């Protein structure tokens, strides 16, 4: 039990999680939600033996031959090789993964899914197969199923403390954003960054496709499941970047960035941001419009959201002596913000999360 107690620190209320004592290297991951919501309960019901490590595909010539043929577009040859590999190493995740890749190239989605289900039954390591299940479902536009498998891939990784596949964190972060779970989105992104600091985040087109799918296929149950995942699994102590890192990310053209600041530091952030954008971005570029589009804020405590125009107005309050500015300074939001308080009068938070996001 040690690993999970350390991981979660407290008793679960809604999700029961257990992991068999690590007498060997293959812990049993069992989770159960029991909320009565069928979708939530299905997503969070996991009973897996998970063993990381073991064979390394890149040290095995017969695996490298599959990758080579597959990447070169010699799909039939790769399929032949990978089937032989599967028959030889039935408990190895690699052949199931590649069967899935190759069948998807041929748009044989039933076969692609079957390969993964076989792998989930037979392979010692499963989290990569769960992530592939998510991406296969997403490729065929079934967001409910995709989210279910991304969540499972995340839970297994966090439970075994082997967090190496950023894809499910990234994809789910955009779903969370569209569902209004902005702080959850932020936490998921921190994992993405922690796993892979060099790879760019999801490109805008792919993100937009996810936003649209979430608007069309998103449900309350989906939102509840992601909120539960956050509550029970996503660690809250991941460090959030400083104002300097945030400005650096924005100016260097990162698609997204975020930081947690004292509300009293917001003016400093705004001034630096406006100044540096003017200095480093092309001269025909308009600062206020970009801020309206790409800046937003969330209270980490109550979830109150400040949109781009509000944050821009708050940042500009001190600059003008016009009657309009004087009036704007007297609005309830400006008054509370000016005192370093969350604009929600029922909330006592003195902090705000500032997000720089896709248009
Ligand atoms: Zn608040």
Tell me the mean pLDDT in the region 35-46: 91
pLDDT tier at 340 (50, 70, 90 boundaries)? very high
CA–centroid distance, 248 to ligand 1, in Å, is: 27
Please indicate, yes or no, whether the overall pTM of this predicted structure exceeds 0.75: no
CB atoms closer than 10 angstroms to residue 161: 10
Residue 21 has pLDDT above 50, yes or no: no
CA–centroid distance, 345 to ligand 1, in Å, is: 8
Question: 84-98, 122-136, 310-324: which range is least confident on average?
Answer: 310-324
Residues whose CB falls within 8 Å of the CB of residue 287, separated by 6 or more in sequence, listed in order: 274, 277, 278
CA–centroid distance, 333 to ligand 1, in Å, is: 12
Q: Which of 358, 54, 38 is nearest to 225 (CA)?
A: 38
CA–centroid distance, 354 to ligand 1, in Å, is: 13
* pLDDT number for residue 314: 92
Question: 72-81, 84-93, 196-205, 314-323: which range is least confident on average?
Answer: 196-205
* pLDDT number for residue 14: 46
* pLDDT number for residue 199: 62
Tell me the mean pLDDT in the region 195-219: 81
Tell me the mean pLDDT in the region 313-335: 83
pLDDT tier at 198 (50, 70, 90 boundaries)? low
Q: For the chain, how long is the longest CA-to-CA vector?
A: 79
CA–centroid distance, 340 to ligand 1, in Å, is: 11
Residue 346 has pLDDT above 80, yes or no: yes
CA–centroid distance, 296 to ligand 1, in Å, is: 14
CA–centroid distance, 40 to ligand 1, in Å, is: 27
Contact predicate 321/276, CB 8 Å = no
Q: What is the mean pLDDT of the chain?
A: 84
């Amino acid at each position: 039990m040690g690993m999970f107690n350390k991981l979660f620190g407290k008793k679960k209320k809604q999700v029961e999680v257990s992991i068999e004592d690590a007498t060997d290297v293959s812990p049993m991951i069992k989770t159960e939600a029991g909320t009565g919501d069928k979708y939530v309960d299905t997503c969070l019901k996991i009973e897996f033996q998970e063993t990381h490590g073991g064979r390394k595909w890149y040290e095995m010539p017969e695996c490298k031959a599959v990758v080579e043929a597959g990447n070169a577009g010699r799909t039939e040859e790769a399929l032949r090789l990978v089937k032989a590999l599967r028959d030889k190493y039935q408990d190895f995740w690699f052949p199931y993964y590649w069967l899935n890749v190759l069948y998807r190239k041929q748009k044989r989605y039933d076969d692609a899914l079957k390969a993964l289900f076989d792998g989930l039954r037979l392979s010692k390591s499963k989290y990569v197969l769960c992530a592939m299940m998510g991406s296969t479902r997403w490729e065929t536009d079934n967001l409910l199923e995709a989210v279910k498998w991304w969540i499972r891939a995340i839970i297994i990784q966090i439970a075994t403390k082997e967090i190496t596949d950023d894809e499910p964190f990234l994809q789910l972060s955009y779903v969370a954003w569209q569902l209004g779970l902005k702080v959850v989105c932020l936490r998921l992104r921190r994992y993405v960054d922690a796993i892979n600091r060099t790879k760019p985040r999801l490109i805008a087109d792919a993100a937009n496709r996810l936003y649209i799918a979430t608007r069309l296929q998103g449900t309350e149950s989906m939102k509840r499941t992601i909120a539960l995942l956050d509550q029970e699994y996503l660690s809250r102590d991941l460090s959030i970047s400083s104002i300097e890192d945030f400005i650096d990310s924005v100016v260097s053209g990162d698609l997204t960035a975020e930081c947690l600041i004292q509300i009293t530091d917001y003016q400093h952030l705004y001034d630096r941001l406006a100044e540096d954008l003017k200095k480093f971005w092309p001269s025909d570029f308009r600062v206020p419009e970009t801020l309206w589009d790409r800046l937003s804020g969330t209270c980490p405590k109550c979830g109150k959201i400040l949109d781009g125009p509000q944050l821009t107005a708050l940042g500009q309050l001190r600059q003008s002596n016009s009657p309009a500015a004087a009036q704007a300074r007297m609005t309830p939001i400006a008054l509370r913000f000016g005192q370093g308080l969350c604009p929600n009068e029922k909330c006592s938070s003195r902090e705000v999360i500032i997000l720089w996001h896709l248009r």
